[in-house]
Structure 1
Amino acid sequence: MSATDTSIHLYWATGCTSCLRIKEFLERNNTSFVSHNVIQKDGSTDADAESTVGIQGVDPEIMDEMAELGLPQHVPIVRRGEEWADGKDLENVAELVGIDYDAEPLPVEELYRRLTVLLETTQEYLELLPDDELETHIPNRPRSYADLVQHIYSLPDVFMMHEAGVPMTGVPRMEHHWDHNSKIALRTYGSSVQGRLDDWFESAGQTCDWSETADVFWGQPTKHAFFERTTWHTGQHVRQLEWVLEEVLNIELEEPLDSALWEDLPMPEKVWNDN
């Protein structure tokens, strides 16, 4: 371990959507990197590390290494020598590693339309999840199917909290005073998020300055870029939920997600990390 090493290092976690996206981004641009998966190979959990990185089961040795190098205690992080960039910010990563990057988000109304479809689809998929499978974990990461559904709803919730004046100063902890392993509770939360999102767009959203800088911990995106991230991030997890239903639980879907939903969104090509 050396901060003077000019190799590109990627700190990531299995099952992390932003990690998969940045891995694909580097690979697509023929950029070699040293891989550091912060998830413990034996699947055990370190509670102290969990509280910093926001992911269960992390490897304390890698987290200690990141701390010694002065890196944030969350993933994904891309490092080159003493400089680093948050992997959620493709523009900053591109500048760090020398990749040409120029992308414009879809119009806000189109992002809102797609996000609405994704939230409605999640409600439909939730009803198909067997009650006795809610606490089953997704592949290679200690996150249950119920956690996955709750996380999907929390992404637009975090965006609305930001617009209500709550800065996103770190990995969000969505605390709720109910048992989120209950389908009724999850359904209620999802309906609340969708309703508040609709209300916001019909009121404050009409005068929102989307070119303003969002107050987030991982970079300086515009609110437009932040909302784009909210949409594609939600979409990636809905894809994962669909995969669980079809490939793991062998549930046949009447109307699978339309691939047109992903067009022109900067999301991963794959549903899961291969390794």
Structure 2
Amino acid sequence: MADAYKVYWQPGCTSCLRAKEFLKEHGIPFESINVREDNDAMADLARLGAMSIPVITRGDDFAFAQEIRDLADFVGVKLTRAQLPPAELNKKIDLILAAAQRFVKQIPADTLRVNLPGRDRNCLDLAYHIFVIPTAFLDAVRGGAVTFEHFERMPPPEFDTVEKVSAYGQDVRKDFAAWWREGTVPGTVNTYYGVQPTQGVMERTAWHAAQHCRQLMTVVANAGLEPDGPLGEAELGGLPLPDEVYDDEVPMQAGAAANG
């Protein structure tokens, strides 16, 4: 009998959630391992040579699940979905970042330092993280790489207000627009999960940031406020977003502190 699939994930992780939903959509059973609750999980992955998540394993074989294409290849599913062209992705990334700037300013002061469920990440950290996502992409297309360290970054001490984080977001938007105007899009980029087609990483940049924007919208809504210019199908259509906003196993209760 073949070994069962295992998926290593953590709450609030966009690629983790998308990977789990993809497997369920295709009727592929798997063991779900939350690395925040399983003390042996990261050591098990390290023995295989995997140092980040999400990861899917089967016996001693594994694949990084950041890209759905890689996950599909690992489980033997043929993908038929077409990716949006770079020009359309560029437009979506800009409007997503603009939305994040609006939403972060709406987070109430008494919510800023509240941890999200199952994570050592608070609401201000989440907002900052959204703007690091396109920064990672820009580093890669300029000859560097998308690293796991990018996504572990926390706001520097001076970014202690929503206004400062929003201003940082504006700087990132300007930098992204400047790169796009240069008109140089390499065919591939380096990432911590391998050399990847630039279009795929650009698409992931868009939906990764968009998914966290949806989480920010939930934070605002849970505070009893109406998100300023909420994102919907008109803005996000065509992106491979998960169905759930936070996680299918850990519900998002942004108004209450979480353990873990």
TM-score after normalising by structure 2: 0.89
Selected match of 1:243 from 218, 221, 226: 218
Separation in 2, partners of 1:106, 1:124? 25
Residue in 2 that maps onto 1:261:
235
**2:86 counterpart letter in structure 1:** V
Aligned residues: 248
Contact 1:118-1:238 within 8 A present in 2 as well: yes
Separation in 2, partners of 1:149, 1:124? 10
SS in 2 for 1:207: coil
Residue in 1 that maps onto 2:172:
193
Alignment of 1:13 with 2:48, yes or no, is no
SS in 2 for 1:133: coil
Contact 2:131-2:169 within 8 A present in 1 as well: yes
Selected match of 1:32 from 22, 29, 47: 29
Separation in 1, partners of 2:176, 2:83? 19
Separation in 1, partners of 2:70, 2:202? 18
Deviation at 1:176, TM superposition (A): 6.0
Alignment of 1:119 with 2:97, yes or no, is yes
Separation in 2, partners of 1:251, 1:200? 35
1:226–1:142 distance in 2 versus 1, CA, 3 Å? same
- Gaps of at least 5 residues in structure 2 are 250-260
1:86–1:208 distance in 2 versus 1, CA, 3 Å? same
Residue in 2 that maps onto 1:50:
none
Deviation at 1:111, TM superposition (A): 0.8
Separation in 2, partners of 1:218, 1:74? 9
Q: What are the Cα deviations for residues 107-133 of structure 1, in whole angstroms up to 9, with x where unaligned?
A: 111111111111111111122112232
Separation in 2, partners of 1:167, 1:106? 22
Alignment of 1:102 with 2:77, yes or no, is no
Selected match of 1:67 from 39, 46, 49: 46
- Gaps of at least 5 residues in structure 1 are 41-58
Residue in 2 that maps onto 1:48:
none
Selected match of 2:184 from 195, 204, 207: 207
Contact 2:103-2:228 within 8 A present in 1 as well: no
Residue in 2 that maps onto 1:147:
125
Contact 1:134-1:181 within 8 A present in 2 as well: no
Alignment of 1:77 with 2:55, yes or no, is yes
1:145–1:165 distance in 2 versus 1, CA, 3 Å? same
Instruction: Tell me: higher relative CO, structure 1 or 2? Use CA pairs within 8 A at least 6 residues apart.
Output: 2
Separation in 2, partners of 1:201, 1:191? 15
Contact 1:11-1:37 within 8 A present in 2 as well: yes
Contact 1:89-1:219 within 8 A present in 2 as well: no
